[in-house]
């Protein structure tokens, strides 16, 4: 596997990062991934995370705003802010629920369909940048390892949802 500049040395032993080299690497990869996503999304007028909201609407159709919060595993103010921005851009429409006026339904607009093609292209490009020259077996191993790490953290969160600060 190719190494990126600076990654070959890794955190030094005795440093705080050296106490958690995998956690440190995850942090660095996530930061770089988000930065690349941001650059690519900026070209179509989106902020990172807004594409995830749009993908949910394109894939699953109109949804309650509270369901988007749950599905995206984020907080209500972040979703509300994204929905406002996407609505101002003409990509989503908010309507009151026909059965409960306290509930807001969010749906993708027809205008968002051109955006969908751009987001699909961006995600394919981001995937290509991320995996680089990895072959299928390497990608499978990385994906498996990430699923294991996610499962470990999910189990830890379920055991102790509010760890002490």
pLDDT tens digit string along 100-150? 888 899 999 999 999 999 999 999 999 999 999 999 999 999 999 999 999
* CA dist list (Å): 70 to 64, 75, 148: 10, 8, 22
Check whether 165 has a pLDDT greater than 80: no
Residue carrying the six token digits 């390497």: 138
What value does the mean pLDDT take over residues 55-84? 94
Distance between CA atoms of residues 46 and 48, nearest Å: 7
> What integer best gives the mean pLDDT of the chain?
89
Look at phi and psi of residue 132 and say left if phi exceeds 0, alpha if psi is from -120 to 50, else beta. Answer: left
Instruction: Round to whole Å and give the CA distance between 95 and 101.
Output: 9
Asked if 97 and 103 count as a contact pair (C-beta separation under 8 A), the reply is yes
Q: What are phi and psi of 93, to 5 degrees?
A: -130, 135
The CA distance from 154 to 160, in Å, is: 10
Position 59 confidence tier, pLDDT thresholds 50, 70, 90: very high
């Amino acid at each position: 596997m190719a190494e990126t500049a600076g990654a070959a040395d890794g955190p030094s032993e005795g440093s705080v990062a050296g106490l958690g080299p995998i956690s440190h690497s995850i942090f660095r990869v996530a930061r770089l991934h988000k930065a690349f996503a941001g650059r690519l999304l900026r070209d179509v007028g989106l902020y990172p995370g807004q594409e995830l909201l749009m993908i949910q609407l394109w894939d699953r159709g109109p949804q309650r705003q509270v369901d988007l919060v749950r599905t995206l595993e984020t907080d209500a103010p972040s979703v509300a802010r994204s929905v406002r921005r996407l609505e101002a851009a003409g990509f989503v429409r908010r309507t009151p629920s026909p059965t409960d006026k306290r509930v807001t339904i969010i749906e993708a607009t027809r205008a968002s369909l051109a955006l969908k093609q751009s987001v699909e292209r961006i995600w394919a490009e981001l995937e290509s940048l991320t995996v680089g020259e990895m072959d299928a077996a390497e990608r499978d191993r990385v994906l498996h390892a990430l699923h294991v790490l996610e499962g470990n953290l999910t189990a830890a969160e379920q055991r102790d949802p509010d760890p002490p600060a």
